[in-house]
Amino acid sequence: MALWVEIIDTNSKLISNNYLPSNVIHKEVGDGRNVSFWHDIWCGSTSLASRYNRLYHLDINKFDMAANKWIDGNWHIFISQREDKWKCSLSSNGLFSVKTIREHLDRVMLPSLNVVTTWIKQIPRKVNVFWWRLRLDSLPLRWNLSTRGVELTNLECPVCNSGIERQNHLFFECEVANDSWRLIRVWMDIGMPRFASLVDLQAWLDGLQTNSDSIVRIKAIMITVLWVLWSFRNGVVFNDVVIRRSSIFDIVKMYSFRWLKNRGNIVSVKVQH
């Protein structure tokens, strides 16, 4: 027995130092009663546990012998029936929640916003946070969630049900966004072009040739448009409609006046309609 332990131990050392290929000692399967289905190397050059790691972790009988998995002429693996859960080390109960992640990101990231002078004091903090997330393309849009591994059955825009819900679709290409921007262009009357994307909008804002107060006001209104479109979209998704499609433009105007007025800047854009 001691001799075998020594041989196996030496073998492991040689394999881990790459002196020996890992399949140099393997089991030859007879009736499968002495072969660990997952841990022994009996099929191919590595253990099935390392080759099919995800399946291995799901199996509720990890230490079964091969014979136990072979039932009625087929391989059977019993997978845990427990509901899948996202785990998160940030929350007190260890479970994932969007709120926990958001609070963490706010805590970690927000102070730096002031440093890079992207904070716009005329608009509320939550809208600044939204603007920051939008520029990072990190809003929980369906496309963004799917690229981060969240399995969704439907990636379509919840507002128009045609087109994938990506950032540029929801805020610029979607019919509702398009209509809203058209009304804003007329209202502002400052030669605002049609934006196809956030990059377009930012490039236009960066190139504005006017005094800095006006630039801040224009920027605040642009962000308000995006914020109201986002609020409208969330109302549709969560079936909690507080903004009607027909009132989006009025709400943009209302917020713009309220925010800019309350924070010491009266809106001085020409109203035309």
Least Å from the CB of residue 179 to Zn ion: 11
**Cα 261 from Cα 93, distance rounded (Å):** 43
Q: How far is the CB of 212 from Zn ion (least distance, A)?
A: 35
Q: Which is nearer to Zn ion, 178 or 262 (CB)?
A: 178
Sign for the CA dihedral angle at 106, 109, 111, 116 comes to negative
Beta carbon nearer to Zn ion, 69 or 166: 166
DSSP for residue 144: H
**How does DSSP classify residue 122?**
T
Distance, in Å, from the CA atom of 89 to the CA atom of 99, rounded to the nearest integer, reads: 13
Which candidate, 234, 84, 80, 86, places its Cα nearest to that of 148?
86
Binding site for Zn ion (CB under 5 A): 157, 159-160, 174
Distance in Å, CB of 114 to Zn ion, minimum:
34
Which residue lies nearer to Zn ion by CB, 145 or 215? Answer: 145
Question: Whole-number minimum distance, CB 251 to Zn ion, in Å?
Answer: 19
117, two tokens = 């002078």
Specify the residue, 157 or 243, whose C-beta has the smaller distance to Zn ion.
157
Judge contact between 265 and 214, C-beta under 8 A: no
* Interatomic CA distance for residues 210 and 127, integer angstroms: 24
Handedness of CA 64, 67, 68, 74 (dihedral sign): positive
- Alpha carbon distance 100, 91 (integer Å): 6
- How many residues does the structure list for the chain? 273
∠ CA 182-185-189, rounded to 5° = 150
Contact 132, 119 (CB under 8 A): no
- CB closer to Zn ion, 169 vs 217: 169
Shortest separation between residue 154's beta carbon and Zn ion, angstroms: 13
Q: Measured from the CB atom, is 51 or 245 closer to Zn ion? A: 245
The least distance separating Zn ion from the CB of residue 247, rounded to whole angstroms, comes to 18
By beta-carbon proximity to Zn ion, the closer residue of 39 and 245 is 245
- In angstroms, rounded to a whole number, what is the distance separating the alpha carbons of residues 252 and 223? 10
CB of 44 to Zn ion, least distance (A): 48
